[in-house]
Chains A and B, each alone.
Chain A
Amino acid sequence: MKYLVALIAGLLVGATVFGLGIIYNPFLSKQGLSPLAVTDAPTITLAFSAVATESIAYSNDGESNVAPHPDKVLQLWEQTVRQTSAMATVLRDGRNQTAGIGIKISSAADETDFLSGRALFNSIWYVYLPGRGALFIEETENYWEYLRDIVVPGYRSSGNIWAGSWLGNTTVGPGALGTAKVTGGSGEFTGAEMLGVESLSVRAWKADKGVVAAEGRLIIELPADTLADASTEDR
């Protein structure tokens, strides 16, 4: 009997050690510098609130810790869309003025592999900037570092909260340099193929509500011959 107890205790310890090793392995998903941080091309930066209750509308399966907003919004409970979220939000420019509207649809990716530090989501954005045009953004996002740096410490804390300052690029593809593929649809962006990066800046997280203070950013590298609007242009 004591051997059985020792074996079970060993199994639990082994599984725990393995789990901790995966979570805190510093070689997993080491975030590098965004290639758009060193580009010479003009870029536009669009900011949005990453808090569901501050969006125009947010929906998911209704069972996540992030509650749909508003309360009466139709939930995505069907089997095919259960791991998908949809959000409509206002996008702001560098002067914190409304620049346009963005719709983000994001689904958990089959390629997710915790062994290699990949908590992947396939996301798309539709961005419409009045006076400028529309963009379609396709990206693969990796939330591994977000889970490791915010969610795990949050659950570990006695109040099930995390507070601090976390900044990370979530975009890891499909571009070879870890960039999103951006396609211009109308206006000055018509026909343009561009690169983009989405980043997330989190200040507070709660286990029962998800992020409660956070801002997202979309950085889009414009074609060299595009005239960037002064309000959104960075370079």
Chain B
Amino acid sequence: MIKTFIFGILLGIAAAAGALYAVPAVDQYREASIITVAQNGGNSEIFHINVPIDRVMAGGPDQAVMPLGLEWPDDEILGSVSTEIFKVRNARDSVIGIAARTAAREGESPILDWIIHLPARGSIYVNMNPVAEVGGHRIGEIRTGSRELSGLSGFVTERWVADTSGEADAHAGRIELSAKYIARQQEPRE
């Protein structure tokens, strides 16, 4: 019986090690990417945010804060800063990540930045041109990316699309983020 017990201990150690090795502790669910080839090179991907249902939080000195109970810091230094956090959806309307939009005024020059985080893929950081183009959209430059999205440059267009369906349960509209990815030229190795 002692031999059986000792065998059981060894088997238990082996089984625990095998289970930890074979079963991943984390397995991020990944929606299939919906990427198309853009004209004149690069790849294109469109995200959107349904407003207001995808808004996680919104805060700023001159705007209604949400959710209920959120206390925006009453610091003079943050007097020109507003920020929002959203869930981000793909073209199939599935939530695939989290994004944050921060607007601020730096002297005379406004700042408008987006970060988009896709847990299974990586993140991108976008500096938007705060001045809207003709048609109301804004264009920003992908400053950097992480993991699968590192090494990419390109542009992101932000556009507000108001809902015109007239349906009673329709969203107010959606923020459309259209990304154009272009791989950076690799420096040749010497």
Contact = CB atoms under 8 A, between A and B. Distances in A.
Interface of A: 2-3, 6-19, 22, 56-57, 59, 70-74, 76, 78-84, 86, 88, 90, 97-101, 103, 105, 107-110, 112-115, 119-120, 122, 124, 126, 128, 130-131, 133-134, 136, 138, 174, 181, 183, 185-187
Nearest to B106: A187
Interface string B134-175: 000000000110110000000000000000000000000000
Nearest to A87: B85
B190 to A, nearest CB: 20
Given A83-B26, A105-B100, A124 B106 contact: no
Contacts of B47: none
B67 interface: yes
B123 A138 contact: yes
Contacts, number: 236
Interface stretch (B38-46, B52-60, B181-189): B52-60
Interface string B91-112: 0001111101010101000010
A80 B122 CA distance: 13
Contact of B102 (A79, A82, A112, A126): A126
A122 B59 contact: no
Interface size class of B (residues with CB under 8 A): 35 or more
A14 B18 CA distance: 13
A82 B54 CA distance: 15
Given A80-B119, A84-B98, A88-B85, A138 B146 contact: yes
A113 B95 CA distance: 27
B15 A80 contact: no
B57 to A, nearest CB: 4
Contacts of B97: 80-81, 84
A134 to B, nearest CB: 6
Contact of B104 (A11, A56, A128): A128
Contact of B123 (A17, A22, A74, A124): A124
Given A12-B12, A56-B73, 11 more contacts: A7-B11, A11-B8, A18-B12, A22-B20, A57-B70, A72-B67, A83-B26, A100-B81, A105-B98, A107-B28, A112-B26
30 contacts: A10-B5, A10-B8, A10-B10, A11-B8, A15-B13, A18-B16, A18-B17, A59-B56, A70-B68, A72-B67, A73-B57, A78-B87, A80-B30, A80-B96, A88-B100, A97-B77, A101-B83, A108-B28, A108-B119, A110-B26, A122-B119, A122-B122, A122-B146, A124-B123, A126-B125, A128-B104, A130-B80, A131-B77, A181-B144, A183-B144
